[in-house]
Structure formats: structure tokens, C-alpha cells
Homo-oligomer: A and B are copies of this chain.
Amino acid sequence: MAKANVSLGGRDILDLDSLSIEEYEMILQTAAEMKKIMKRDIKKVPSLRGKSIINLFYEPSTRTRTSFELAGKYLGADVVNITTASSSVVKGECLRDTILTVQSMACDAIVMRHPIEGAAAYAAEVADPVIINAGDGAHAHPSQGLLDMFTIREQGKDLKGLKMAILGDVLYSRVARTNIAAWTKMGADVHVAGPMTLLPHDIESLGVTVHKRVEDAIEGADVIDVLRIQLERQKKGLFPSPREYARIFGLNEKRLALAKPDVTVLHPGPMNRGLEISWEVGYCDNAAIRDEVQNGVAVRMALLFLTLTGGKQIENID
């Protein structure tokens, strides 16, 4: 473990811009240790025993919520879910009051998903517990960015100088924004393609190359990140029809062949197979989608561990 002079003890994890490359490194190395724990016969360690984590989800989510819940439990923490479906604290109460209420229950970390950009940063301002942003509107989803980075490196790839293609709905995607921030910081060459109606107007200011044709983004790519299409965008006229979308922008085998042979295909899930990604590509050997899920638990274990213990007990884990 490169303990170095960084510590994430007590830090809020709001986005990837506010973490240094050294901190990425620390998280990814810790996640590698956590992945070993996940493969043990007995997956439970006492590192976070006596800590309580609240999953505060203002939007429905299964993948991320379950992943954080398991991550916390594998580390021995108590995890309690508050979701808008079952929630009254949320109704008519301002976010500040809800966050302070949760804090008063002696919780150590709040894992928070909210439809509004900046909600997690606001929560971090008002509250003492560690805030981990599990997605705030179209802004950021840092644990997703970190699990993607982990997955890419696990494939033996160093981000520096790689050609990364991000396909699809960049405008509404916190995953896209998060990965663009991290990948450009790491020195990758990031290319973007999708319907013009689903690209931010200022996208080039993010340091990426924009293409009209997905083929140009894919050509020679080391990594392709396929974004999930949200079908309500179609109702809003932002793209013609799912079938047209698949024909023009979907990642299929023919397009995949334009990338490097060992290209890594990412997708944050859940996949709309047959829409933004074909059935074949979703199951092909280049697809690292199941790895992303597994690494997601490991990365979230690392985040909870590092923020709640400052990494002090890493020796006890191994």
C-alpha cells in the first residue's frame, strides 16, 4: 500500500475533479485489496464495525444502492436505506433539514443520490458525516468513475495517451461528465459522439474531441464507454426513435471492429440491449460490464473504508 502522505479520512467524495491523481491511486489500490476480500469464502471484515451508513436515495436505484449496501456490510458497518418510495422525511422537508436529521441519528456516512446537480455538495456543506455522492443529477457519480478506472487498469491499460470513446447521451449523463473529468486529468485522449441534441453546447471546453459520426470516435479506440439512453428523451424529441438511434449511434459488432482488437467496452448499466448496445456486443469478450459491477463493490468498500477510517486499519484487513 502506498500510504504516502494523503489521507481521505473524513473527506466527502463529491466528484472526481476534487480528488488528486495521488488520491485516485490510493483508492484504486485499496479497492484491489477489497476485491480480494470479496473473493474470500467469508467476505466479512470488522473494519467498519460500529459505524453506521445511511443510503439516502431521492431517485430509484438498485445497482448503486445495493452495491453500497453490500460494500458497507462486507466491512461490518450497519447500513440503513432511506428511499423516496418509503420516505416521509423527504416530503415537504427541505434538504438541509433532512440531512441534519440523518446526521443527528449518529450516522457516520451518508451515501446520497439526488436529482439536482450540486445536492451532494450542499449536503457536505451543512453536515458533519462523510457525504458520498452516488449521483447528483447530470453532474457527477464519482464511484462510477473510479470503478471504470479500476476496470480499465485491470485490463492492463494505463489511461495516459489512450483513445477513449464516449458514445450517446452525454448531456444528461453524470457518468459521462465524471469520466471526462477523470480521463482528461489522467492524460487520455477523449472522443465523444452522439446525437447533437444530446451533447452539451460547451462540450469542447471539457477538453474532448467531438465527432458527428460514432465511427470516427470508435476508430482505433482503446476503450468505448457506451452511455445508457433514457427513453424519455425520445418523447422530448431529442432523438428520432429507438430504432433510428440504434442504427445511427448504437454500438454493434460492425462498429466495434473499427476499434483496437483488445478494446474494452464499458456501460454503466442497466443496458438497453438492442438500443445503445447490440445484444452481441453486450455479451462479447471485450465487454467488461460485469467486471464494472464487481469492481463497483470493491471501489465502494475502498471509499467507505478510507473516508471512515482514514486508512488506518488497512493492515488489519490483510
Name A's B-contacting residues (CB within 8 A): 38-44, 49-52, 54, 60-63, 65-67, 69-70, 73-74, 78, 80, 82-83, 85-94, 97-98, 100-107, 231, 269-273, 282, 290-291, 293-294, 296-297
Q: A103 — which chain B residues lie within 8 A by C-beta?
A: 290
Closest to A106 in B: B38
Could you show 12 A-B contacts with beta carbons less than 8 Å apart? Answer: A43-B51, A44-B49, A61-B88, A62-B89, A65-B86, A66-B102, A70-B80, A73-B78, A83-B86, A93-B270, A101-B270, A105-B297
The one of B61, B62, B297 that contacts A106, using a Cβ cutoff of 8 Å: B297
Docked complex Cα distance between A73 and B67 (Å): 19
What residues of B have a CB within 8 angstroms of the CB of A91 in the complex?
A: 270
Could you say which residues of chain B place their CB within 8 Å of the CB of A73?
52, 78, 80
Chain B residue numbers with a CB within 8 Å of A60 are 86-88
Chain B residues in 8 Å Cβ range of A231: 92
A63-B88, A70-B107 as given contacts; A41 in contact with B50, CB under 8 Å = yes
Q: Which residues of the other chain, B, contact A105 by a CB distance below 8 angstroms? A: 66-67, 70, 293-294, 296-297
Chain B residues near A93 (CB, 8 Å)? 269-271
Determine the distance from Cα of A83 to Cα of B61 in the docked complex, in whole angstroms: 11
Q: Is the CB of A50 within 8 A of B40?
A: yes
Residue of B nearest to A59 (CB): B88
Q: Would you call B39 and A50 a contact (CB within 8 A)?
A: no
Residue of B nearest to A91 (CB): B270
Q: How far is the CA of A221 from the CA of B103 in the complex (A)?
A: 29
What is the CA–CA distance of A93 and B91 in the complex, to the nearest angstrom?
29
Name the B residues within 8 Å of A97 (CB-CB).
269-271, 273, 282
Q: What residue of chain B has the Cβ atom nearest to residue A275's Cβ?
A: B92
The docked-state distance in angstroms from the alpha carbon of A294 to that of B82 is 17
Let me know if A88 and B270 touch, CB within 8 A: yes
Q: Given A92-B272, A290-B100, A293-B105, are A50 and B44 neighbors across the interface (CB < 8 Å)?
A: yes
What residues of chain B lie closer than 8 Å to A269, measured between beta carbons? 89, 93, 97, 101
Q: Provide the residues of chain B in CB contact with A106, threshold 8 Å.
A: 38-39, 43, 70, 74, 294, 297
Q: Which of B78, B293, B297 contacts A74 (CB 8 A)?
A: B78
Additional A-B contacts beyond A61-B88, A104-B297, A105-B294 (10; CB < 8 A)? A44-B50, A52-B74, A63-B88, A65-B86, A70-B80, A88-B270, A93-B269, A101-B270, A103-B290, A105-B297
